Structure 1
């Protein structure tokens, strides 16, 4: 009997952030524009990277809007 187990996961990382005019619709705190990077890993080896921008709340951490590249 053969058994294969593949471990695939994603890791999100905030590269940089800057303030933006506006408030969070969920908690009312300030929002920021962040440059995000998502790394998809297979057996702990990254094989795909995606860079995108997102508007993120500074208090609750909710992603309010995302912009794909």
Structure 2
């Protein structure tokens, strides 16, 4: 019997951040609007990349709302 194991991971990266009005509902910290990039890799080779905007807490880093 042969078993194959492949490594797949997904990473999120912030490319730019701008301040926004509002507060985080989880911790009460400030909010900011950021351009996000999601990269999915299969065996260390990037196979999928997606860019999107999100409202992020500046204190705890939680994603409060995303715009795809």
Same fold (TM over 0.5): yes
Distance 2:28 2:7 in 1: 38
RMSD (CA atoms): 0.7
Unaligned runs of 5+ in 1: none
Aligned to 1:50: 50
Unaligned runs of 5+ in 2: none
What is the correspondence of 1:1-69 to structure 2 with a 5 Å cutoff? 1-68=1-68
Tell me which stretches of 4 or more aligned residues in structure 1 moved more than 3 Å: none
Instruction: Using structure 2 for the length normalisation, give the TM-score.
Output: 0.95
Instruction: Using structure 1 for the length normalisation, give the TM-score.
Output: 0.93
Distance 2:23 2:64 in 1: 10
